[in-house]
Amino acid sequence: MKRIISSLLALGALTLIITTSTAEHANAQSPSRVFKQAERALGGNKRLSTVRTLTRTGTITRVADGKSGRYAMHGSAPNLLSEYIEIDGFEVQSGFNGKSVWARDSRDGLRTLTGITSLDFQAEAVFRNSRWRNFGKDKWRAVSAGTAEIEGKRVTAVNVTTSKGRRFKLFFDSATGLPAGEEYVTDGGTRLITYSDFRAVNGIQEPHAMRIVSEGQAFDIALESVVHNATIERARFDFPVISGEPLPDIPTLLRSLQTNEDKVEGILDTYSYEQKIIKREIGKDGVLRETESETNQLSFYKGYRISRMIEKNGRPLNEREQASEDREVQKRVEEIERRIAREEKRRVSQSASGPPDGESRRISIAEVLRASNLLNPRRERYKGRDVIVFDFEPNPRFDYKNAQSFLKFFGKTAGVMWIDEKDKQVARIDAVLFDSYKVGGGILANLKKGASFTLEQERVNDEIWLPSLADINLDVRVLLVAGININQVIRSYNYRKFETEVKDAAVDPTKTNP
């Protein structure tokens, strides 16, 4: 923050003073009251709820040298967003199409964004389209942050935390109740947006002047047009189509992926690794914190994965706890032996009656994607490798009624996937549940729309992509009781070739973990 303020002062930009006195925090208005005042000042919740698309266009000027160009922003509910800036021939463009976040500029070209940068843009896309009106439904938390001063105006500040732990700050004019600005903290530093010159558009007060301060540079935007509910082509939010090296045939690539999976599974069975499961929760103060964790040692026994706990909440298990855990592992080994015997007996029986049913087969990613439409294929670099990236979304023609359970679930998701073209393996998946998914007709469990997960992999020993990070965020109702929020990060690491079966493997309780 000090670096940003110093840059602003050097540029002659606005001065931002954050007030943190205890008295002011004690007297601060609740976020819900601040939001209601803002809604009234803007024109009322009823009018705001009618806005499905928003288009802003105008002129942008770089304060440092006075050079100008064009600015455009397009938003479409619930979460589509694109933004375009051009100054002195240099273009910067970014967008979210509901599945993937992308960026393009005149220096670095076109790329799909991941990680924090992607989550930040997705959060901004949701906010641009619905402001604060869906915070409760989306499980976002708003907390009072006292008062501040922007360009000589007294403002009320509200901290916002998304369900995925991304944070930003909102400012509201204390005198008028109108939105005064937003502050985002991203990988590139702090980005501050302020608003002024409000004018009525369809009965809603819309800013016609903006200032953006990012990475030490200030930009003034004079909006010439602010339009509600204009038709916006979906292509405006999609990954731009650019010429380049021809893409492979995607169906052929997916068949190669499926053929390669048996080999990959065989290699995976020769590795052991550690896995840390971290449970998180957003507190009443809006901060996402780790609540508990568990570290397990994973190895294999006759093709089955075995998990042995070695650490709980950052503390290695003591001798008694570890002995108890090892007894449980031995029980699982014995159960595997019984399962293998049952499966062998079933195979002998089925050899006379025909092939096993589909539920007994391993489902591959290639099969899973049959439940999806594949869109926007493109070539990119990911972790130093050439990859094919494409978006996917539910296929309305897919036969969900007769599909296997996992296919039914995946057929309701949308997102983006990275595939290593040479290794024929999935390197990364980002996905979100497009529709509620019911287990047992909704009696056993009901995963609510908006649940999301990320699977990130690392290439190990120059031969295989193995899981490194899974980020899971969902709201589920179990057995018709109240909803349960699951916010977990699973980190997998310390992969090594494993030559000994698990029942003979020694546990090292002194193993250190990240």
Are 410 and 395 in contact by the 8 Å Cβ rule? The answer is no
Are 275 and 491 in contact by the 8 Å Cβ rule? The answer is yes
CA distance 187 to 170: 19
Are 478 and 484 in contact by the 8 Å Cβ rule? The answer is yes
pLDDT value for 361 = 40
CB burial string 30-65: b at 16+ within 10 A, e below: ebeebbebbbebbbeeeebeebebbbbbbebbbbee
pLDDT 10s digits, 351-409: 444 433 333 344 566 667 777 888 888 888 888 888 999 999 888 887 777 776 667 77
Nearest to 501 by CA among 340, 306, 268: 306
pLDDT value for 19 = 37
Residue 331 corresponds to which tokens in the numbers above?
Answer: 């029980």
The SS3 call for residue 508 is: coil
CA distance 142 to 168: 10
Nearest to 192 by CA among 222, 161, 168: 168
pLDDT 10s digits, 258-296: 788 777 877 877 888 999 999 988 787 777 788 999 999
Which stretches of the chain drop beneath a pLDDT of 70? 1-28, 242-245, 303, 347-367, 404-406, 438-446, 475-485, 498-514
Are 424 and 263 in contact by the 8 Å Cβ rule? The answer is no
Structural domains of the chain sorted by starting position, each given as residue range(s) with its CATH number in brackets: 2-236 (2.50.20), 250-504 (no CATH)
pLDDT value for 347 = 62
78: preceding bond cis by omega (within 30 degrees): yes
